[in-house]
Structure 1
């Protein structure tokens, strides 16, 4: 034969349905690879931008560098760019009046403006965000913080000129200049005075947005930024350098090299400071931006980087294996269907190598057509998914951008081509080994396999009937066909279990923090918010819910046998004071969100029940056991501190008002998270939640000094803010925090993650369903002669249908159970690979296992029923004649 390869095109055109089914398998596989790459790239882009916004776009910072060393750091060979900041000085914008001091004796004596000088790189690296205006461009321009404008005697506006008396903070009792740590945005003392040194006028050119990590002292120290190109460096002034390295590889070693190389020469001004290797760590604080570095796999913690790479490699390997299985099945089924055709070719002179080349050429042609389609459909699917995210979120998630990466598309295409070629080799060799005589007799696809002795089971016969016996024996006698079909289902179940586990894993490792819209705090002498204020808040139409927040510090005696041994190994220092059979611990907290908070907490319980009357009688508490912590090696640890059960008793006491006696409380429930939190607490203290009455009994204090408000998302928030501002004007002891934007961002981030991850699982489920449908349907159609024989010897159509359904059910049970076992094992293994990044207790994913089993059974039954309609129409004589 000379033009034997021309038969490939003729077959592909002649068997369009089979060719289309094979192409669908390739297209879906490449679509999966493209979708995964696009999702990963886009989500990484979002995380990087979000991390830059929260932590800055730099790699390492050098804090407290003396002026004479600035150029050595910023011009070092390994440094790509550097942002330089210095402190201009403090300015008093208001002084605490006598009324406020009387209302709140511990309030700060001054409200300061902390003016800092940034160069252009520093503003860019630290992501200075503006509400209005522009960034400063010279030393006479300034931007102010939006949350501090009301502290000025005359609230400045854009374009206004303000005169500031710049100076230093001193210790009032000694007159000495106060030591300032870091940038100086936090911390103040009652024994504090201010000493003005210079006066300077600035033009207000911009208003800054509030930072996401603002602290309480920000209400007293307000940052402001002016411009400095740092061409003239003051050798006596400390500087803060934020550096981006040319390469993030071995960043810790490079940074140590920079610090060790700094040698400060004596200057004409008589500077005595020498920055050498011995005292550099004392004089200069080095901080790595590990939150950003770990997203690039360049964290200073080697264990974190290796663990991330291994875990991602394992996930990619699973995807590749599953992709290979889909394409392999498509080609294998195509070869099985054409055994007789290959036999005819062998009879007329085709050699085994020519038969093999026919299959490989077929693979090449299908790849050239299918892979571009797969790349297009994968990109299109992601475009639709990202559009849907934007639509569903009503514009709140506009920071989630689809990133189309050419390297990702090229990688997906090449990987698809390689997978098709590898997948075609096995079927090609099988086709080349076809015996001409046996193939022409069509024995290659019905009874070529060796039939072994099949065990009889009286129990199975009674349970499943005659049809069930036939179904069981059909699965046992043709093991190759059984394995191919079962393999498709097993792979699909594994994919679902593994990626559902990853979704659950990511949900559990989400950041902590209480999510609410506003909080009212009272720091007046009474430390008590009147109940009338709470009732007024509830009446506001814009308020959806409001909780009275009672919070007290307590000491507790934790029984030794109730401490999680794994946590004890990490935090032994917490348990150093023995009291009988337990350890005394301080700084634990006892809190309550009022009676309505307890009612809403029921959904968070993992053990126990909530009965307020019973809790009041028995001093009942709900224990928060799980926390999230960062170890010294940079690993995030999610772990139970204790292992309390319902009914356990704990001794606690309040240090307030000199209380010395312990009160016995009873555990009535266990929860992992607080009511308004979507993550785990990061505090190394045990939390107890109870009723206001129990708190009053233990602490002798029935007051609440904070109200947490959840705003109605369908109503404007102006009534709430108007009420809160009026409240502050009436009593200086009140303050409030606006967390609407932060709360919305947290919800949006969670929604984004869920849509992406569940959308990805949806793609996997679709591919799995089509793969199983394709495999099962084709195998049933290939057995048309076999079914015709059974009908010829007396089996009715009803019995045949029952046999096929039972065969599918038995296959589904076998494949689902094996897929679940392997999937759970891989889920556990992947979590272990992440153990150097995040470690938490692994639990058996019963819910995912149940969904996988049910999904497998439904899919196999649908795949079985679908071709039965075609089989009903088959004429027995025609089927036997074609065979």
Structure 2
């Protein structure tokens, strides 16, 4: 007999459980890598089809010489060509203005070539051959990895590298499993050597064992991975069926690494003499016998614990490897889960900071910017609001009714500003300066060329503006949570005003911990008292008179500067009054004149402060804001339910993907929410991926641990038989050996807890540079790590022990 490879299948059958467990480990790695590669490849094919629907060409050749283009079309490298118009535009920036240098080719040649994966090199060669210019279909060429020379090779190397990383996990499990097979069958290999088997033939047996398990795992993984990728493709509308191309790098990486690993395993056989192998002398460890005490295990569990401790220390190398593997996994899990808790705490704090309606779109109506202009915004169309509200992370959408009205006396509102708010916040400082300018408007010394009437009018307009929001009962119930005095049950002339809340718009003093996203800080912003009176201009009449006067002013305006349009300069037309004031300035003069007329006529409404709000940790509106009942709002503004000025959305931050905020482009009433939330969600997603990889790595290392422990139990069968001969019961034997697993589990978990906590603290330092987070250690992760590791280690000991034969005679005959 010269072909011993059939023995490989026999050995695998003898160790059926280990073979299946190892094959499953290989399958898991292949599922992950094949599903990712197959989905990515399917996505690229789908995108190619989509691009070709609108631009089905690979290269466009540009020349005014039609004869040269005809020669290009007749080239063997071209399979299809057609002519058409092509516009080349190059942006030119001059004096902060953008212009375009445009050239049009009426007879450009659009071509498809025989080898699209070489379109870049073909284009460059044909440009040199025919002396014409050319451009790639860049959107399509990127899908063929054709942006630059050599990029295709780099991409393939990256794919192979990623695949090889997964192969290391898979083949590492095989190494451990095959080593166990070799050690168990070492006597057989010695006999084969004695009857004439060569080292090469023994190597073939070992390689066949590894190849059978790995190929079976790869086949099962590809089959399951195809199903996974099809499900992913179905979710996004892509046909992601089986493709052979992603299998190729898997076979190269896995089988290539397998060869070298099996060479290493075969050294266990070919480096031992046949006689030594038959005698089992490889198991004898040449070392001085050490006398060890009972230790802590002996004190806790008696003689069983002492024996378990001595058994572990007898093979300290394997024990250290197992402890290290489990410790690394637990450490990584604690780091990830603690970071996860930090991020979720930050998400919870962010939700509290931005309130129920985290994002909104729209703006307040005013005499300068009416409802019709606001509703011209595409984001406020009924279809857009319906589409946005239907997204799974939007829990509620609510319409906003908001105007900017003018005060009769700015002192009634802005005169209540808190000194600290004015000094320590940018917006408070701005309001304080604006109020002071209004107070000093009649005492200010103006320059000779100043338009004094406009400056006074502009100051009065800016200082008297205040935001008004009409609230339905649900809005008032939401605001009732922040009422510090008074009530949210308003009468027709009752209003709610804001006395405080948090803001991000404050001057950093150095006392707070600086991050890229600073925490909100609470301020008392105003000093309103219950019963205070605030007078507001009759907005309905104000709006009517202003628009009539503004349209008349525009109709009577003259051209102050004509439109200038040259190759190097463009200036729009400027119109103004006969007196020479620009219409932009005149509108403020008109608005202030009408405001004064309405005050003199008594055309204003008086409202009473019936509730005072303090938003606490929640951000307060940057602009001054007065809340009143919806009916009173409609009566003041003259609007009705159709005159919506915006929409606000309640968002579940635990569901929303990071990129959604960029898609929505929404802002909160108090602050731009996008940057803060994007940073939080980006870190959350990163931790998700890392945690998934840690769980994946732990699953694979668990397969190694199971195989190693099972092989060790099998090799100690004679030892167990001897213990039973001297009187140890089967139940007590299982208890004794299980204590070895307990020892391994406890030590690895203690080390994992220690290092996990230490590294979590260091990671917190880095995360806190980006986000405002509180240090959090995920104590519940300790319990998860303990339970999972105990299940893997103790379970892999208990199962093979339960299957030890009741007849111990055969085990006593085993070579030691």
Give the greater-gyration-radius structure (CA): 2
- Normalising to structure 2: TM-score of the pair? 0.49
Q: Which protein is richer in helix relative to its size?
A: 2
Q: Which protein is richer in strand relative to its size?
A: 1
